């Protein structure tokens, strides 16, 4: 039985340039994003993925925009991902997760959730047509608003710093960067970016 053949695509320098420019909508930093990231940004196969959410965070890191709705950027603390950095990006697919964090749903709620439900019950519990709507509003709308003030979470944009410039490598989920998965993520970053940015992956002595 013959092994399946994998399709390969070869791009010349001008095609790579055009690809990156298209991915970041002509922004000046196009040469500092990897081909791997450019392809992800242009991939329309996942309707839940919002590339503009990623571009918003890159523009923030570049100083083009002054505010970010997500948690502050942070450097990885352990090898193999150290000294890379990550910045959260938020899109609609992360909405439920952020609301869950606000009310600590994974751990069966918190005191804020208990108080909120109690307040709604006291104010509207005798009106069976009204209280579900009030509860939903408090849970979703107010919960999301309060979470926004603290910094939204989402998936990661991973980048590196070199000579006072950011180089944007790829996207990753939280799970990819935790524990033993970090080595697989590092290899993904290396495979996707080392050829373009070898100075970000120095050989170990």
What pLDDT, in 10s, does the model give residues 128-183?
788 788 777 777 677 567 666 666 666 899 999 999 999 999 999 888 888 889 99
153 versus 86: the higher-pLDDT residue is 86
- Nearest CA to 31 out of 42, 41, 17, 45 is that of 17
- Nearest CA to 169 out of 190, 199, 198, 184 is that of 190
What lies within 8 Å, CB to CB, of 46 at 6+ separation is none
What lies within 8 Å, CB to CB, of 25 at 6+ separation is 55
Q: What is the dihedral of CA 149, 172, 29, 197, to 10 degrees?
A: 140
- Nearest CA to 84 out of 164, 15, 186, 5 is that of 186
Domain ranges in the chain with CATH number 3.30.2310.20 = 13-91+154-199
Domain 13-91+154-199 has CATH 3.30.70.370: no
Distance CA 105, CA 141 (A): 16
How much is the pLDDT for 204?
Answer: 63
The continuous run of DSSP H or E covering 145 comes out as helix 143-150
What pLDDT, in 10s, does the model give residues 92-130?
666 667 566 666 777 777 787 787 778 888 888 788 788
Find the range with the poorest average confidence among 5-19, 64-78, 135-149.
135-149
How much is the pLDDT for 3?
Answer: 45
What pLDDT, in 10s, does the model give residues 20-66?
999 999 999 999 999 999 999 999 888 888 899 999 999 999 999 99
Look at the block and give the residue holding tokens 């997760």. Answer: 97
pTM, whole model, 2 decimals? 0.73
């Amino acid at each position: 039985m013959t092994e399946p053949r994998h399709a390969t695509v070869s791009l010349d320098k001008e095609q790579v340039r055009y690809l990156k420019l298209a991915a970041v909508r002509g922004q000046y930093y196009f040469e500092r994003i990897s081909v791997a990231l450019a392809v992800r940004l242009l991939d329309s196969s996942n309707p839940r993925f919002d590339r503009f959410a990623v571009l918003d965070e890159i523009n923030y890191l570049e100083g083009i925009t002054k505010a970010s709705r997500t948690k502050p950027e942070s450097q990885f603390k352990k090898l193999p991902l150290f000294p890379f950095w990550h910045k959260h990006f938020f899109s609609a697919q992360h909405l439920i997760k952020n609301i869950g964090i606000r009310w600590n749903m994974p751990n069966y709620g918190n005191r804020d959730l208990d108080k909120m439900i109690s307040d709604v019950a006291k104010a509207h519990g005798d009106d069976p047509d009204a209280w579900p709507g009030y509860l939903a509003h408090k849970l979703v709308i107010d919960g999301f608003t309060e979470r926004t003030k603290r910094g939204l979470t989402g998936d990661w944009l991973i980048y590196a710093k070199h000579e006072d410039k950011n180089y944007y490598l790829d996207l990753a989920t939280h799970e990819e960067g935790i524990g033993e998965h970090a080595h697989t993520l590092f290899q993904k970053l290396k495979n996707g970016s080392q050829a373009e940015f070898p100075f970000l992956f120095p050989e170990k002595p």
